[in-house]
Amino acid sequence: MIDNSASMGAVDPEGTSRLEKALEHAGNVINTLGPEQQAAVFSTSADSVVHCGLTHHARTLRQSLEEISQTESAGRLKDAIEQAVQLADDVDATILLLTDSPPENLPDPVAPILIGTEANNLAITQFQVRTSLSTPDIQHAFIEVRSFCDRASDIELEYRVNDQLVNVIPLTIEPDGSWTHVSDHPTGTGGILTVTLSPADDSLDALKLDNIACGVIKAPARLPVTLVTKGGWFLGHAIDACEFTDLTVTTQIPNQADPRGLLVIDADSPGTLPPGNLLIVRPRQATSLWDISEQVPEPLVEFQESDDRLLQHVHLKNVLMPSAVGISPKGEHQRLVDSISGSPLFVRFPREEGDVYVLTIDIDHSDLPLRTAFPILLNNLMSKIAMKGSDDDAAVATGTTVIPLNSDSLQAAAGSRKLTAVHMASDYVAVCGGLTADRNSARFSLPYAGVWELQTQDSDAARQLIACNLADASESNLKQVSTVKEQGRSLRQSSGQPWFLLLAVACLILVLAEWTAWHRRMIA
């Protein structure tokens, strides 16, 4: 059993990788097999692969070693060992485990052969890209860098969007320390955000596989906004200032709103509210959700739900408001801003067919449109609607993973096992392992880090990009070798010698002893 997980790609001081050493050791074991001895070869990282079944044909066994290549996924040795023990019990065999980090409490048939020595390493152990909760055209990139070194390390982090350099961060990490950071990147038209770790001293970085990580930047969805107004200069310009909106201005209230967008009605309100997301500014008549009451003169803000996402960075307590429309909410509602008189100034009515927001302030005679609070409030509201139902494609870990599917065509292809994942850098193809119980996600085994594309047999069907990173601190920690050193055996201890060679040596010793004794008698 040869471990070909990511950490086996570490290069020791003499310039040989741990996997190369493991394959060399395995070849030596094969060379010592006797005519009656059989062996099998398989590798294990995230999954176990049988490269050669039980045979005593040495050349076939050696050729199977050439099939074993380095993967970039974390190891799952315990699962592989359980499977191997079951097979070994059937044939009364010994399992030679060649690895740099054998698990504890190994069962009796398993004989670990420790590969590699303790080494320093620097690694990106976490990386995720998320859309800003306040602005869909901004992406937050979270990164964690860790040092598994015995001295301070100087490094540089290079950020690239679609291969274009956008930022360089130099830093120093203390021994066994970590560093976290959140950077902002414009969404633009979408693409791939890649970060690369470059150490000043290569001797402090034995494993290169964990020096790069990537994330998918999704192009922001355009938000169609229809503004119904007979003036509304401030309102129209504040909406149009948002880069992700497509504004249409009209004087007639449509019968229904775009389910993907927002309908803004200024200084009016229909008796029957259409389905969809609505923002009513200065309502003029009662509806099924509220009644109209007396106008509120010079309202003062008594309460503001500052923790709500809609009111982040919005401050209304010192805003000059000559008047506001008095309304009495009916049914389920959320008061976001209340006046001292008890009449709401900003209120939300949740509906299955789309939420309704009501702003009662007379914005034409208030200084609210002249303050930053007004465009921020509108931006927060439109951002929330634009991001509704649109999830980020989170980066997944190498190895066996579950990928959420963002289209019906991909889900259908996964259900019929016609969905594949193609590694963009190598064209390696991974076949879908089926849908999860909720039928919204697919199972894959992705052995390499980088960008993968989900594809179906239908060339016109939707495709989906997936960022895949190692991001595993246990694989990047190359000092674990020392903690398991006593568990490992040398090749000589583990491989053993065939019984007939031992018997031949014993016979030779007996013959020499008899020959010596006979000559002594002759001399005497």
* CATH code, domain carrying 32: 3.40.50.410
**CA 264/CA 14 separation, integer angstroms:** 69
Residues 273/289, Cβ–Cβ less than 8 Å? yes
Are 128 and 176 members of one domain? yes
Residues 369/359, Cβ–Cβ less than 8 Å? no
For residue 489, what pLDDT is reported?
A: 40
Are 229 and 372 members of one domain? yes
CA angle at 24 for the pair 18 and 30, rounded to the nearest 5°: 140
Is residue 483 situated within a structural domain?
no
Are 289 and 155 members of one domain? no
Are 283 and 415 members of one domain? no
Q: Which domain holds residue 189?
A: 121-220+470-476
Q: 46-61, pLDDT tens digit by residue?
A: 888 899 988 989 999 9
The residues near 57 (Cβ < 8 Å, ≥ 6 apart) are none
For residue 491, what pLDDT is reported?
A: 35
For residue 501, what pLDDT is reported?
A: 59
For residue 227, what pLDDT is reported?
A: 93
Q: For the chain, what is the domain count?
A: 4
Residues 37/496, Cβ–Cβ less than 8 Å? no
Is residue 517 situated within a structural domain?
no
Give the other-Cβ count within 10 Å of 400's Cβ: 18
For residue 481, what pLDDT is reported?
A: 57
Are 329 and 230 members of one domain? yes
For residue 484, what pLDDT is reported?
A: 44
Are 303 and 339 members of one domain? yes
For residue 500, what pLDDT is reported?
A: 53
Tens of pLDDT, residue by residue, the chain (524 residues): 999 999 999 998 888 999 999 999 999 999 998 888 899 999 998 888 899 988 989 999 999 999 999 999 988 888 888 888 877 777 778 899 999 988 888 888 888 999 988 999 999 999 999 888 767 778 899 999 999 999 999 999 999 999 999 999 999 999 999 999 999 988 777 889 999 999 999 999 999 999 999 999 887 778 899 999 987 788 889 998 887 889 999 988 888 788 889 999 998 878 788 899 999 999 988 999 999 988 999 999 999 998 888 888 898 888 899 999 999 999 899 999 999 988 899 999 999 989 999 999 999 889 998 899 999 899 889 888 887 756 667 899 999 899 988 888 888 888 888 899 999 999 899 999 888 888 889 999 999 999 999 998 876 777 889 999 998 999 999 986 544 443 434 333 334 444 555 667 777 888 887 777 767 665 55
Are 496 and 377 members of one domain? no
CATH code of 447's domain? 2.60.40
Are 256 and 364 members of one domain? yes
Is residue 285 situated within a structural domain?
yes
Q: 378-428, pLDDT tens digit by residue?
A: 988 988 888 775 666 789 999 989 998 888 888 888 888 889 999 999 989
Select from 73, 97, 67 the least CA-distant residue to 5: 73
The residues near 411 (Cβ < 8 Å, ≥ 6 apart) are 405, 435, 439, 440, 442
Is residue 392 situated within a structural domain?
no
